[in-house]
Structure 1
C-alpha cells in the first residue's frame, strides 16, 4: 500500500502549515483563549478561504475531500499548531451528519459551512452517557405536525458560537437501544433551549444544554425517524481519526520543542541533550512517535471500510495514541522543567491538548475493551 500523499493533499498540507506557522503563534493563541468567544472569527474565515473546511467534505457536498486521509492531513497540521477553532465539531461531526442524513434543503446549508459563514455543533452526549453512543435520555414526541423535545445535553463543544445545533433525541425504544434515536436541526436561539457555556481546559468552549418543550417542525428531522445511530457512530469514528491525527501533530510539536530545549539548555558546559539518560528518554519518545504515526495511517486508511473493520482499527488507534500521547506530554514536561508549565511557553498548551484529547470519544481503557469485543465478534 502506498502511504505517500497525493499531490492535492501535499499541497493542502504545505499551504496549511505555512499559514499556521506565520499566523498562529503562541501569542495569537493566548490572545484567542483570553477572549470570551474562545475562537477567532478572522482566523476561521481565512482558513475557510484556504479550503480547509472544504477538505473535510466530499465533492457531492461541495467539498473536495472528506476521506480518512484528508481528515488526517488537516488535523495533523491543526494539532501541530495547537489550533483551538472548532473544525472537528462544526464540520466533521455536525456538518458530517447533515451531509449523511439531510435532504436537499438541509444539505444546502453546508455551502455556508464550507465558506465559513455558518457554524454548527453536535449535541449528543448527556450527563449520564459517558462514552455510550446509544444511551439517549432526551425525548422527541411528535404532536400533530410538530416535534417537542425535552432533555439535557452535556459538554457540547462550539454550542455558543453555533448558528444551528444538531441534537439527538429518542423517539422510540429503551434508553440504551440503538434503534429509536433521531437527529434534529434546531436554531441555537430556539424558544425553550438554554445554553450555559464555559471554557475548556485545552482551549475552546463548550456548554450544557437544557431543552424544555422545544417545539420544532417535523421537517427539522435529519433522515428517517429513529434510524440515526449508524450515522452517529460513523461520524464519531471519523472524529476519532481526526483527533488521533490532531494528537499526533501536537506530539510532533512537543518532541520538537523538547529536542530544541535539550540542545540549548546547558549544564557543566555542554547541552543537557548530550547526557545519556536524557538522550535515551528522547529516543523513546521518537519511537513512540513512529508507532503513533503508523496507527493514524492505519485508522485513516480503514475509515471507509465496513463497520466492524472500521471500528476495530479506530479503537486500536485511539488506544495507542492515548498511551503514547500521555508519555510524550509527561516526559516533555519533565525534561523541560518548570518552564514547560508557563502559559507563555508553547509546550504548556500543547501538553494540555494531548492529555485532554484522550478523553474525547472514549479513553484508552474504553477503546481497549471495545477493540477486544470487536475482535471477538
Structure 2
C-alpha cells in the first residue's frame, strides 16, 4: 500500500485548498451560519456542479468520477480547515456511501447520478443519539400489503431540513439488535413526515429531528433485502466516520496554523509570545498530535477505498472496523485538544465573537460525539483486539 499522494491527488488537494480559501473565509462562514439553510446555495452549486466534488467517489457507471475514499478524505480535510458550511458530509459521506455499500440494485441508478451531478442533496436518518449501534434504531417498518408503514423518530439528523432525499434506517416489528434492520428512501415531502430544526452548539452545521407517522412506502423504496440492511449500513457508517475524521484533521491543522500566526503577531514583554518556550512546547504537542492523526486517517481512507472497490483487496478491506475506529477516536481527541489550545493561546480575544477559535472549538466539541464518541470507539477497538487475541 502506497501512502504517498499521487500527482492527481495533490492536484485535488491544491485546487480544494485554493477554492475554499476564497469561498469559505471567515466572513462567508459567518454569513452561512446566519442564513436560513446553513449554507450558501450558490457556493454549493459551484462546488457540486462545476467542481464535481460529490462525484469523486461515485462509480463512473453511476455518473461519478470513479475515484475513492482517499480523494474523499482529501476534500474533507480541506473543508475542515475552512469550516465549510455545506451539505457535503450528509450527502456524499453518509447518504451516497450508504447507497454504495448497499450493493448493486435499482437504487444506484435512481439516486447516485443526481447526487453526483449536484442536483440532489440527501441525508441519512439513523436511530436516536448515542451510541451509534444498531440498538438505537427505533423507527418501525410495519409491512403493509406489498409496501410498508414507517413510524418513529430519528434525532440529530444532519442537514435534515434542506435534504431532497431521506435515507431512513428502520426495523421490522419485534426485531432486536442487528436483526430486522431495513433501509428506505423517503420523500421528505411525503404525508406523515415532520422535520424540525434543532438548536446546536455548532452553528456551522445544522441538525434536525425527523418524525415519521404512518408514512406509507412502496416496496421499491426499500434499499437492499428486507431485514438484512445492517452489515451494509454499518460499513457505510464506518466510512462516513473516516470522512468525518479527515474533516477533524483539517480543523486541527487550521487551529495550529492560526495559533502559530497569532503567536508571531502578539507582543508581550517586548517580544512575540511565540518566542516563549512554553508556547513553543504547546504548539509542538499540537503538531505531534496532528501528525499521528494524519497517519491514522489516511491509512483508514486507504482501507475504505479497498472496501468500496468490488475488486479491492479483501484482506485490507477486512481491517475497516479497526481502522475506522482508530481514525475517528484519534481525530476527535486531537481536534478538541488543538481547538482548546488555540482558544487558550489566543488569550482573551480567543473567546470573543470577532476571532475564529471559538468556531473551531464548537465544531470540535459537536463532532466529537457524532458517529461515535472516542470512548465508544475505544471500546470497539478493545473488543476487536480482544477478539483477535482469543
TM-score normalised to structure 2 length: 0.92
- 1:367 Cα deviation from its structure 2 partner: 0.7
Write the distance in 2 (CA, Å) between the matches of 1:20 and 1:320.
25
In the alignment, is residue 29 of structure 1 matched against residue 29 of structure 2?
A: yes
Counterpart contact for 2:3–2:299, Cα < 8 Å: no
Write the distance in 1 (CA, Å) between the matches of 2:271 and 2:337.
26
Counterpart contact for 2:127–2:139, Cα < 8 Å: no
Counterpart contact for 1:251–1:289, Cα < 8 Å: yes
Give the 3-state SS of the residue equivalent to 1:201 in structure 2: coil
Change in 2 beyond 3 A, CA 1:100/1:326:
closer
Corresponding residue number in structure 2 for 1:360: 370
Counterpart contact for 1:292–1:320, Cα < 8 Å: yes
Show CA shifts across 1:264-307 (max 9, x none).
Answer: 10111110111111111111111111111111122112223556
Write the distance in 2 (CA, Å) between the matches of 1:315 and 1:356.
18
Give the 3-state SS of the residue equivalent to 2:198 in structure 1: strand
Corresponding residue number in structure 1 for 2:248: 247
Corresponding residue number in structure 1 for 2:257: 256
Write the distance in 1 (CA, Å) between the matches of 2:63 and 2:338.
38
Q: Number of paired residues?
A: 375
Corresponding residue number in structure 1 for 2:191: 191
Give the 3-state SS of the residue equivalent to 1:179 in structure 2: coil
In the TM superposition, structure 1's runs of 4+ consecutive aligned residues that sit over 4 Å from their partners are: 305-308
Write the distance in 2 (CA, Å) between the matches of 1:66 and 1:133.
29
**Alignment gaps of 5+ in structure 1:** none
Corresponding residue number in structure 2 for 1:39: 39
Corresponding residue number in structure 2 for 1:19: 19
Show CA shifts across 1:238-286 (max 9, x none).
Answer: 1111111101101111000000111110111110111111111111111
Corresponding residue number in structure 2 for 1:337: 347
Write the distance in 1 (CA, Å) between the matches of 2:67 and 2:146.
35
Counterpart contact for 1:135–1:175, Cα < 8 Å: no
- 1:355 Cα deviation from its structure 2 partner: 2.4
Select between 5-14 and 77-86 the one with higher mean Cα deviation. Answer: 5-14
Corresponding residue number in structure 1 for 2:125: 123
Corresponding residue number in structure 2 for 1:104: 106
Corresponding residue number in structure 2 for 1:8: 8
Corresponding residue number in structure 1 for 2:58: 57
Write the distance in 2 (CA, Å) between the matches of 1:89 and 1:261.
33
Q: 5 Å matches for 1:239-318? A: 239-303=240-304, 304=306, 308-318=318-328
- 1:308 Cα deviation from its structure 2 partner: 4.9
Change in 2 beyond 3 A, CA 1:217/1:179:
same
Change in 2 beyond 3 A, CA 1:273/1:61:
same
Write the distance in 2 (CA, Å) between the matches of 1:239 and 1:229.
15
Write the distance in 2 (CA, Å) between the matches of 1:65 and 1:247.
25
Write the distance in 2 (CA, Å) between the matches of 1:25 and 1:269.
31
Give the 3-state SS of the residue equivalent to 1:294 in structure 2: helix
- 1:135 Cα deviation from its structure 2 partner: 3.3
Write the distance in 1 (CA, Å) between the matches of 2:13 and 2:161.
30
Give the 3-state SS of the residue equivalent to 1:160 in structure 2: helix
- C-alpha root-mean-square deviation of aligned residues, in Å? 1.7
Counterpart contact for 1:241–1:296, Cα < 8 Å: yes
Write the distance in 2 (CA, Å) between the matches of 1:33 and 1:135.
30
**Alignment gaps of 5+ in structure 2:** 308-313
Select between 250-259 and 321-330 the one with higher mean Cα deviation. Answer: 321-330
Select between 322-331 and 206-215 the one with higher mean Cα deviation. Answer: 322-331
- 1:174 Cα deviation from its structure 2 partner: 3.0
- 1:199 Cα deviation from its structure 2 partner: 4.0
Change in 2 beyond 3 A, CA 1:261/1:105:
closer
Write the distance in 2 (CA, Å) between the matches of 1:52 and 1:248.
19
- 1:226 Cα deviation from its structure 2 partner: 0.7
Write the distance in 2 (CA, Å) between the matches of 1:156 and 1:245.
20
Write the distance in 1 (CA, Å) between the matches of 2:352 and 2:360.
12
Give the 3-state SS of the residue equivalent to 2:369 in structure 1: coil
- 1:103 Cα deviation from its structure 2 partner: 2.7
Corresponding residue number in structure 1 for 2:153: 152
- 1:173 Cα deviation from its structure 2 partner: 5.2
